[in-house]
Structures are given as structure tokens and as C-alpha cells.
Amino acid sequence: MNFHYPNGKRYVPKTNTAAPKIRKEKNFAYSNRGMTLEEDLNETNLYYLEQNIAVIHKKPTPVQIVNVDYPKRSAAVIKEAYFKQASTTDYNGVYKGKYIDFEAKETKFTSSFPLKNFHTHQIRHMRDVLSHQGVCFVILRFTSLEEVFLLEASYLLSFWDRMEEGGRKSITKEEVEKYGHQIPLGFQPRIDYIKVIDYLYNLS
């Protein structure tokens, strides 16, 4: 049965499809659109996949499984597990035959990007990828500014080395602007980073 309201329009129940997901995570930061960088990149990668542009996936979160319960007639339940530190970056895949590998991080700061966002394992992995001619970079989001940059791993590694030699523990915003490439934000794809790869590697 449908009720008719004073405006004469048929009542349509509200759906929640457009509601932003609320997560209880530490260091969680909303962009103005209510999407995390990870969600934006997952949608971008899905767009690339469906449009047959590139095959790039986020790796699953590494988990150390300690105890699993196998109830009869239903799926196995993991009862005890712990988060493990990733030994690689989060995203990889293939674009025009090339190996693509990157990590994505966001900060609330506006004047610099802290290097503590990256782990030693990930830095080591980036060096390995570069030495095997992979395309390796980081995607950095300044959440409050709504600005996203692609910075090639070679530059990130230089800034990391500077820190190891006693220098500053972050990349200044000016350095990100100078050595990185700002990625225009769109609706579909949201973060079109492949365009920057085309430009850098003359692939288009």
C-alpha cells in the first residue's frame, strides 16, 4: 500500500546507499566527500578494471591467524588473529605490460608529509621494485587541503635517506609540489593516477 503525501508525490522510502560508511578506526580521516583514500583508490582501480585500462588490486590486510573454529555445516570462523605488518606496499598490478606498485597514505597536516607514515619494510620493497625496473610510486593525500599527489618512489627514497642521515622527518609541502605530480580529482575515476604514469613513461 502506498500513502500519498500532501505534495502529491508517491512515497519512496529512503535508502542508505549514498550514506558514508562510519568506521571506528584510529587515525581515520574523512575527506569532504566522506571517502577514505583507500575507498577512492579501490573505486578508481575498479573503474580501470571495468574499462579495461589496467589490472591493479589492493592486497588483503596481512593477518596472523592463531585459532580457527570449524562449526558443523557452516563456514570456518577465525576466533583469534592479529594484524601483521605488511612486508610490501598495498597496491600492485599491471598496466600496458608494466609492473605497477604503490603505497597510498594520507595526512591531516597541511605544510608537510610525515615520513613515519611509511615502514622500513615498505621502503625496502620499493628499492627492490625499482631495481627490477618496476614502476613504483606513492600517492599522498593532504586530507584537509583535498589535494592528492603522485610522488615517484625514487624521490621518496631520497627523502627517506635524508632522514636516516639526520635530516628532517618529513617531506615539505613545497617538495611534494616540486617533485610530485598533482592528480586532479574527479567523479569517475576519482583519482586518475594512471594519467600521470602515461605522462612519466610516455605510454599514452
Q: Is residue 200 near a copy of itself by the rule CB under 8 A?
A: no
Q: Which stretch binds a copy of itself (CB under 8 A): 105-113, 128-136, 137-145, 158-166?
A: 128-136
Length of the chain: 204
Residues 90 and 147: beta-carbon distance below 8 Å: no
Quick check: 161 and 171 in contact, CB under 8 A? Answer: no
Q: What burial class does residue 161 get, using C-beta atoms within 10 Å of its C-beta: 0-12 exposed, 13-18 middle, 19+ buried?
A: exposed
The Cα 175–Cα 126 span in angstroms is 20
Interface with a copy of itself (CB under 8 A), residue from 104, 115, 129, 171: 129
Q: Which of 39, 42, 96, 195 binds a copy of itself (CB under 8 A)?
A: 96
Q: Which string of b and e fits 18-45 if b means at least 16 CB within 10 Å? A: eeeeeeeeeeeeebeeebbbebbbbbbb
Site for a copy of itself in 42-71 (CB under 8 A): 49, 52, 54-55, 57, 59-63, 65
Query: Exactly one of 100, 104, 151, 153 binds a copy of itself (CB under 8 A); which one?
Result: 100
Q: Is 29 in the site for a copy of itself (CB under 8 A)?
A: no
Binding-site residues for Mg(2+) sit at 88, 90, 103, 122
Give me the residues that bind a copy of itself (CB under 8 A), please.
49, 52, 54-55, 57, 59-63, 65, 75-84, 87-88, 92-101, 125, 128-129, 131-134
